[in-house]
Amino acid sequence: MSSLLPHGGLPLGLGCSRLGSVNGTTGNEARQLLAAALEEGIRFFDTSSIYAQGDSERYLGEIIGNRSDCVICSKGGKYLPLAKRVLVPAKYLLRGLTRLSSGARQGVAKARDRPMPTRWDAAFLTEAIDGSLRRLKRDRIDVYLLHSPPAEALRRGEAVEALARAQAAGKLGLIGASIDDVEAAHAALEDRRIAVLQVPLRRGDDSYAEVLARAATQNVSIVAREILGGQAAIAGAVDPAAFVEARISEMIRSPLIALPLVGTTKLVNLRSAARFARKAMQADSE
């Protein structure tokens, strides 16, 4: 069982990047998704200060709040540029347009994929942590990660030091980084204060093999994201359901992975992923 989970939790995390977003799920649908995740035994929820302009954290705060049997992992370091901030008041109008127009959905998806600006100074990160605590309605964030830091920012140390100070103040539990490239992963592992590393692990990509092995020797927990490779990869599989099951099973049964994440806004997909996770657990116990 993953050290990142409370006793009895399913070894599968829910990625909440589209919880409350224009192209995601909102309102009662979002609440039902979180309620279903809890019902299925999911106890690890991955979010960020910038997901859905903070609404992802707000939904988690509303449904999960300060529950001691759930682990919330949030992230900081990115912020909305001015062009996106001015659109926030029109968010609900945009959501209605995307439901009516595939072109609008594609436009929002493209805008969402553009890199966001970042800051790694202590003042910004301290403010980001406090904002996340308020939205999540928690006394402490169980796991807090720097959100896509470059190797140079990790090696400078100011960003990790800001997290370490918040940890010492009781605001954070474990600290770490969610990284986008191998160089940043190794830079993160150079800092012994980092206890959790979130990495993209798509099928067929073994570029992180050395990172996983090094993390294991340092007792750094690996959270695997992007394990399904997105909707295109799933749809392109000969048997999509079998592909999803195999990937979830592979991640859960790997001794190098503490926990895999799945990101979905559909109840049927959530329940299928939870079922596959339970099967993988049963296979390990036989």
Enumerate the domain spans of the chain. 10-79+116-285
10-79+116-285 fold: TIM Barrel (3.20.20)
Q: How many angstroms separate the CA atoms of 51 and 196, rounded?
A: 20
Q: How confident is the model at residue 91 (pLDDT cuts 50, 70, 90)?
A: low
Averaged over 76-102, what is the pLDDT?
65
pLDDT at 105: 47
Residue 197 confidence class, pLDDT cut points 50, 70, 90: very high
pLDDT for residue 104: 44
pTM of the model: 0.90
- Per residue in 110-154, pLDDT tens? 555 678 999 999 999 999 999 999 999 999 999 999 999 999 999
Query: Is residue 231 predicted with pLDDT exceeding 90?
Result: no
Give me the pLDDT at residue 13, please.
97
Considering 2-6, 80-84, 211-215, the range whose residues carry the highest mean pLDDT is 211-215
Lowest mean pLDDT among 41-45, 87-91, 133-137, 185-189: 87-91
When pLDDT is averaged across residues 173-202 and rounded to a whole number, the result is 98
Band the pLDDT of 270: cuts 50, 70, 90.
very high
Q: What is the mean pLDDT of the chain?
A: 90
Least confident of 89-103, 249-263, 265-279: 89-103
- The answer on pLDDT for 85 being more than 90 is no
Mean of pLDDT values over 6-23: 90
**What is the model's pLDDT at position 115?**
83
